[in-house]
Amino acid sequence: MFKLTGKVALVVGGAGYLGTGVSRKLAEQGASIVVADVDLQRTEEVIAGIQALNPPSEAKGIFLDITSQGCVEEIIKRIAEEYGQLHVLVNLAYAVSKASV
């Protein structure tokens, strides 16, 4: 495997089934994890699971509504301020709409 020590990973949709597994694997490889999702309760459960498996890994959960441009821009700003840069982006989020394209 590869090591991600000192790297920052953002997992969008990180509280979902796939996102949970991806977040844990990235943490196991040493990355600082930012789990972004609309379900804050589930996000906190994912963070607790990561910290239980990998206490040295930094893990943070944040609210993200991918349908809101302002919310997305705020997340980018926060990551830049808190971590300096982003090394890994995994997008597992989706939105459903009945509107025509």
What ranges do the domains of the chain cover? 8-91
Which two structure tokens, joined as six digits, stand for 65? 């509504």
The domain 8-91 is classified under which CATH number: 3.40.50.720, 3.40.50.9100, 3.30.930.10, 3.40.50.300? 3.40.50.720
Position 77 scores a pLDDT of: 95
d(CA 11, CA 34): 6
pTM above 0.85, yes or no: yes
Strands of the chain, DSSP E = 8-12, 32-37, 59-63, 88-91
**Residue ranges of the chain with pLDDT lower than 70?**
1, 54-56, 95-97, 99-101
